[in-house]
Amino acid sequence: MTETAAVPASPPTIDADPFAAEHLENPEPLHRQLREAGPVVRLSRYGVHALARHRQVHATLVDWQSFQSGAGVGLADFRHEKPWRPPSLLLEADPPHHDAPRRVLREVLAPLALRRLSEEWQTVAEDLVEAVLTEQGREFDAFDVLAKAFPLRVFPDAVGLGPHGRENLLPYGNMAFNAFGPRNALVEADARRVGELSAWVNTQCAREALSEDGFGARIWAAADRGDLTPAQAPLVVRSLLTAGVDTTVHGLAAALYAFATHPEQWQRLRARPELARVAFDEAVRWQSPVQTFFRTATTDVDMAGTRIPEGGKILMFLGAANRDPVRWSAADRFDLTRDPSGHVGFGMGVHQCVGQHVARLEAEALLTALAHRVERLELAGEPRRHLNNTLRSWASLPVRVRPAR
């Protein structure tokens, strides 16, 4: 075996556009093709390298020295192109600049800091499920009334947002997640609202706009202590508003879709509601709500026989890695008995999702409430995707339920 080829060969080239509607709608066939083509492939359409196997995606995520985020984690190279908004201090930064904002947000969103929310969110979830069952009956759009409704009921309050304009949160996130991709029709469709939505979000990040007891206020308190500069605080709040809404909405939708299509797994959760957390992680592995991110090579890097040039963009297919048959047995199966840890749906390494405990708490509250009240859950119609360059997202998820007695 010649594992260490002295002269890097040119990798297999694939001409498909992963951001074309057909692949966003149904990404698995292209993911399979990319994984099978090789450990590193070339995407001719965008002049970037791509990784779809778990081993290489994982290795790239944990090697922030060779693969930076500061040049942007989308297709655009911030060293040559002006970003659509000031870069995120978390997502689009590298150590050492990344360290202080990361530490602050990690503390604000730590499991211990969330404990006081847990009981309240459970009650909200129980009330929501009860209201849906009485008001909607046995058939409803689980995307609208559960996956969208629940995070919007708990998260903006937890941040400390005011009551006005909350309907801007999802469109703003949708725009931000589209912006990581190429400037295609999805980005064009958002263009006319960029100014208005950005202005609203930026206004919400000011100290005066935030209540005194939320995540936002705690970020500002960190600035008062000198852990952040006053200029950094609003950008860290902006990260919460960008990364904290659409992700959980579509992540919860992924979990509901998984259960609606796997009745035996629903029965397993009903028998043991304490599986709600692992079920959510398995749903994140199985659907990968965040499908892709880019890195930029800081130097020439040889990976599995391919030389990635300094400055080159690398597209990581998180969703493909999360179903790599080399890493996962029966990778395409949603299965509560597996251990999904090691999935890259929340990333890995220094940037691994800092809000994952918030997401898990939301999921635990909603899934537990449902498991107690719903005996059967099934699709009542064809689910519809909403297309986004980065998020595997939903437009509707019609379900039929049989309430437990």
What does the alpha-carbon distance between residue 352 and residue 105 come to, in Å, rounded to a whole number? 12
Of residues 232 and 306, the one with the C-beta less far from ligand 8QM: 232
Of residues 11 and 27, the one with the C-beta less far from ligand 8QM: 27
CB of 385 to ligand 8QM, least distance (A): 18
CB of 220 to ligand 8QM, least distance (A): 17
Instruction: Give the HSE-up count for residue 92: Cα atoms under 13 Å, Cβ half-sphere.
Output: 23
By C-alpha distance, which of 398, 387, 404, 402 is closest to 256?
398
CB of 391 to ligand 8QM, least distance (A): 9
CB of 243 to ligand 8QM, least distance (A): 4
Of residues 91 and 276, the one with the C-beta less far from ligand 8QM: 91
Using left for φ > 0, alpha for ψ between -120 and 50, and beta otherwise, residue 288 falls in left
Of residues 56 and 88, the one with the C-beta less far from ligand 8QM: 88
Of residues 41 and 201, the one with the C-beta less far from ligand 8QM: 201
Please give the single-letter amino acid code of residue 395.
A
> Could you tell me if 251 and 280 are in contact, meaning their C-beta atoms sit under 8 angstroms apart?
yes
> Could you tell me if 173 and 245 are in contact, meaning their C-beta atoms sit under 8 angstroms apart?
yes
Of residues 87 and 398, the one with the C-beta less far from ligand 8QM: 87
CB of 240 to ligand 8QM, least distance (A): 8
> Which residues in this chain contact ligand 8QM in the complex, by CB under 6 A?
88, 90-91, 176, 239, 242-243, 247, 290
Of residues 242 and 393, the one with the C-beta less far from ligand 8QM: 242
CB of 258 to ligand 8QM, least distance (A): 20
What does the alpha-carbon distance between residue 355 and residue 366 come to, in Å, rounded to a whole number? 17
> Could you tell me if 254 and 392 are in contact, meaning their C-beta atoms sit under 8 angstroms apart?
yes
Contacts 24+ apart (CB under 8 A), 94-102: 94/64, 94/68, 94/69, 94/70, 95/64, 95/350, 97/70, 98/69, 98/350, 98/351, 100/227, 100/228, 100/232, 101/228, 101/232, 101/235, 101/236, 101/239, 102/350, 102/354
CB of 63 to ligand 8QM, least distance (A): 18
**Residue 228 neighbours by CB distance under 10 Å:** 23
